[in-house]
């Protein structure tokens, strides 16, 4: 009856053993924890619950750049780690009998959910960095809920395995196995290689070896990548008589020439895309707070920004009060000393500190004070 992988002794490698699994589990656990916490941060900044929005910090300026950079770095590192961990333990898949008790069956079911959630999470995340969505479900919500499933499954898995993990935590208390050190070194080298060749999309001093990441900051006009070009956004047409609408207690409209005559400010701020790339640039333009003051906005007002773009998921964004009031939050007209190009949001775009790139709305048509 028991053929192939179900036979006793079907797996001959000495590395399918607990100490190897524990060491890899520690590395993978650390990567998944960083990935989970930074992912939560990203969701909270991008789509905050109403009670949190007025409390979001607009500083440090590079906060989101760092958390989201770490999110994608730890997620990519988790891919070879997951592969190595699954290889170490996969003979257990063919355990016989498949379930020794109800509890054992439940434990195996839990591991199935954990493995499925982690694999899907890593796949969808990686494909998102390539902006490729070959599935019918919405990426963001799916990625969010799978993360809870994965972290819940991981906690249960750790609780069940705690005694085994404790027994193999220290090298001294486990028998030496030939090849273990070499295997772990190879896995570490693989993690190092994928990290070094992709982290340059956000870590400036690794740019030179940024060989595998989908974006290469430093290339393209002004060294600033474009997430969605004007053409991709349905060739945003800017009316020749474009005038920004500022809606509030004292609404007004203002054209480009007049905007340029208002006090101009500069801010060095990054675009930090959720997909993992980020670049800092020197933005110039008008403070959003100045426009709000002119529109008679009360202190602590939040703002809704609407793009000229006809449709698209990033057409509208909100600036919660701390961002709207921050002197670094600009309605940018220039980047690195030059007028904005069509792809970077001509005639005007929002740029604010410590924010996901998706909220840095381009081709602004209207700014509205929210009650
Ligand atoms: N109106 C509008 N604004 C937008 C987008 C968009 O698709 N439409 N993309 C956003 C995303 S996802 C990012 S990362 C930044 C990128 O800015 P850049 O293209 O100038 O680098 O713009 C944001 N602003
Ligand atoms: Mo983005």
CA distance 80 to 131: 21
pLDDT value of residue 220: 57
Residues near 321 by Cβ (< 8 Å), separated by ≥ 6? 53, 54, 300, 301, 302
Atom of ligand 1 nearest to the CA of 307: 1
Query: What is the number of structural domains in the chain?
Result: 2
Centre of ligand 2 to C-alpha 37, Å, is: 19
Does residue 309 fall inside a structural domain? Answer: yes
CA distance 348 to 341: 10
Judge whether residue 198 has pLDDT over 60: yes
Does residue 148 fall inside a structural domain? Answer: yes
Residues 202 and 228 in one domain: no
Residues 125 and 163 in one domain: yes
Residues linked to residue 33 through DSSP beta bridges, in sequence order: none
Could you report the per-residue pLDDT of 256-296, keeping only the tens digit for each? 999 999 999 999 999 999 999 999 999 999 999 999 999 99
- Contact between 270 and 24 under an 8 Å Cβ cutoff? The reply is no
CA distance 188 to 235: 46
Atom of ligand 1 nearest to the CA of 229: 19
Which of 358, 363, 365, 367 to mutate for ligand 1's pocket (most ligand atoms within 8 Å of CB)?
358
- Whose atoms come closest to the Cα of 275: which ligand? 2
DSSP letters, 7-27, are: STT----TTSSHHHHHHHHHH
pLDDT value of residue 227: 83
Please, which pLDDT band fits residue 237 given cuts at 50, 70 and 90? confident
pLDDT value of residue 222: 65
Mean pLDDT value of segment 116-137: 96
Does residue 6 fall inside a structural domain? Answer: no
Does residue 246 fall inside a structural domain? Answer: yes
Judge whether residue 335 has pLDDT over 90: yes
pLDDT value of residue 173: 79
Domain boundary residue, one of 209, 231, 246? 209
How many C-alpha atoms does 332 have within 13 Å on its Cβ side? Answer: 32
- Contact between 330 and 265 under an 8 Å Cβ cutoff? The reply is yes
Percent of the chain residues past pLDDT 90, beyond the cut: 87
Centre of ligand 2 to C-alpha 41, Å, is: 15
pLDDT value of residue 219: 62
DSSP letters, 305-355, are: EEES-SS-TTSEEEE-HHHHH-TT-EEEEEETTEEPPTTTTTT-EEE-SS-
Could you report the per-residue pLDDT of 63-97, keeping only the tens digit for each? 999 999 999 999 999 999 999 999 999 999 999 99
Identify the three-state secondary structure at position 278. strand
Q: Which residues are near ligand 1 (CB < 6 Å)?
A: 224-228, 233, 271, 273, 307, 309, 312, 314-315, 344-345, 357-358, 360-363
Place of tokens 């750049």: 65
- CATH number of the structural domain spanning residue 247: 3.90.420.10
pLDDT value of residue 231: 86
Judge whether residue 60 has pLDDT over 70: yes
DSSP H helices, 47-138, are: 63-89, 102-129
Among residues 253, 225, 251, 226, the alpha carbon closest in space to that of 239 is found at 253
pLDDT value of residue 233: 84
pLDDT value of residue 234: 83
Please, which pLDDT band fits residue 1 given cuts at 50, 70 and 90? confident
Numbers of helices and strands, H then E, in the chain? 8, 10
Does residue 214 fall inside a structural domain? Answer: no
pLDDT value of residue 174: 84
Could you report the per-residue pLDDT of 138-197, keeping only the tens digit for each? 999 999 999 999 999 999 999 999 999 999 999 887 888 999 999 999 999 999 999 999
H or E stretch at 39:
helix 18-46
Place of tokens 């990567």: 31
Residues 88 and 182 in one domain: yes
H or E stretch at 244:
strand 243-247
Q: Which residue, by CA, sits nearest to atom 11 of ligand 1? A: 358
Domain boundary residue, one of 162, 187, 209? 209
Residues with C-beta atoms within 5 A of ion ligand 2: 227, 273, 357-358
Among residues 359, 306, 371, the alpha carbon closest in space to that of 329 is found at 359
Residues 162 and 248 in one domain: no
Residues linked to residue 219 through DSSP beta bridges, in sequence order: 217
Cα end-to-end distance, the chain, whole Å: 72
Could you report the per-residue pLDDT of 227-236, keeping only the tens digit for each? 888 888 887 7
Please, which pLDDT band fits residue 213 given cuts at 50, 70 and 90? confident
CA distance 243 to 121: 43
Percent of the chain residues past pLDDT 70, beyond the cut: 99
Pick the range with the lowest mean pLDDT from 41-45, 136-140, 235-239, 351-355.
235-239
Centre of ligand 1 to C-alpha 340, Å, is: 13
Could you report the per-residue pLDDT of 18-39, keeping only the tens digit for each? 999 999 999 999 999 999 999 9
Supply the range of the domain harboring residue 234: 222-370
């Amino acid at each position: 009856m028991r053929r192939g992988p179900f036979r006793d002794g079907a797996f001959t490698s000495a590395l399918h053993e607990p100490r190897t699994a524990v060491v890899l589990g520690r590395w993978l656990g650390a990567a998944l924890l960083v990935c989970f916490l930074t992912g939560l941060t990203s969701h909270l900044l991008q789509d905050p619950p109403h009670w949190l929005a007025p409390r979001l910090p607009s500083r440090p300026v590079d906060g989101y750049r760092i958390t989201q950079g770490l999110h994608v770095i730890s997620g990519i590192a988790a891919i070879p780690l997951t592969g190595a961990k699954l290889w170490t333990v996969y003979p257990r898949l063919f355990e016989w009998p498949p379930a020794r008790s109800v509890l054992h069956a439940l434990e195996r079911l839990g591991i199935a959910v954990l493995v499925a959630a982690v694999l899907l999470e890593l796949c969808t995340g990686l494909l998102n960095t390539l902006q490729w969505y070959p599935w019918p479900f919405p990426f963001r919500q799916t990625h969010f809920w799978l993360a809870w499933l994965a972290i819940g499954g991981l906690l249960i898995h750790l609780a069940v395995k705690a005694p085994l993990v404790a027994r193999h935590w220290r090298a001294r208390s486990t028998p030496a196995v030939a090849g273990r050190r070499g295997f772990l070194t190879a896995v570490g080298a693989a993690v190092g290689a994928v990290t070094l060749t992709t982290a340059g999309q956000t870590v400036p001093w690794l740019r030179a070896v940024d060989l595998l990441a989908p974006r290469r900051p430093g290339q393209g006009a002004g060294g600033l990548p474009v997430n969605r070009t004007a053409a991709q956004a349905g060739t945003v047409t800017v009316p020749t008589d474009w005038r920004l609408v500022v809606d509030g207690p004292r609404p007004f409209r203002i054209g480009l020439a007049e905007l340029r005559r208002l006090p101009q400010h500069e801010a060095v701020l990054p675009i930090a895309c959720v997909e993992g790339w980020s670049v800092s640039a020197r933005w110039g333009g008008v403070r959003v707070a100045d426009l709000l003051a002119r529109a008679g906005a009360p202190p602590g007002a939040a703002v809704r920004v609407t793009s000229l773009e006809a449709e698209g998921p990033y057409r509208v964004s909100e600036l919660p009060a701390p961002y709207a009031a921050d002197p670094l939050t600009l309605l940018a007209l220039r980047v690195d000393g030059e007028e904005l190009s069509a792809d970077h949001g001509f005639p005007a775009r929002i740029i604010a500190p410590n924010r996901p790139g998706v909220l840095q709305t381009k081709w602004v048509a209207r700014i509205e004070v929210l009650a």
